[in-house]
């Protein structure tokens, strides 16, 4: 997956209660990201640093197989 779409989704999550689940190639359980405070592109071509209220998370977007988020517009 390219970094751009993930960056857009994560930016929209800042300061909200929205959650994002990511599936990483080779893993059985999705990674859940919530309480996003800051998002930054890293110098690598697909690297993303995510700061949440609880953690610092570094992701290589090239390894993300799928991402999903609960719709709140229904």
* Domains of the chain: total: 1
**31 assigned to some structural domain:** yes
Looking at residue 4, what is its pLDDT?
93
What predicted TM-score, i.e. pTM, was given to this entire model? 0.84
Residue scoring higher pLDDT (72 or 8) = 8
CA separation for the pair 5, 34 (Å, rounded): 17
**73 assigned to some structural domain:** no
Looking at residue 19, what is its pLDDT?
93
pLDDT in tens, 4-63: 999 999 999 999 999 999 998 877 889 999 999 999 999 999 999 999 999 999 999 999
Residue-number span of the structural domain to which 51 is assigned: 3-67
- In the sheet that holds 31-34, the strands lie side by side as 31-34, 19-24, 64-68
**74 assigned to some structural domain:** no
Task: Specify the CATH number for the domain of residue 42.
Answer: 2.30.30
């Amino acid at each position: 997956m390219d970094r751009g779409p993930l960056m857009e989704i994560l930016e929209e999550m800042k300061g909200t209660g929205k959650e994002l689940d990511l599936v990483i190639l080779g893993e059985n359980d999705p990674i859940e990201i919530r309480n996003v405070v800051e998002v930054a592109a890293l110098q690598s071509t697909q690297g993303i640093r995510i700061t949440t209220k609880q953690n610092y998370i570094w992701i290589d977007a090239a390894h993300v197989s799928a991402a999903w988020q609960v719709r709140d517009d229904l």
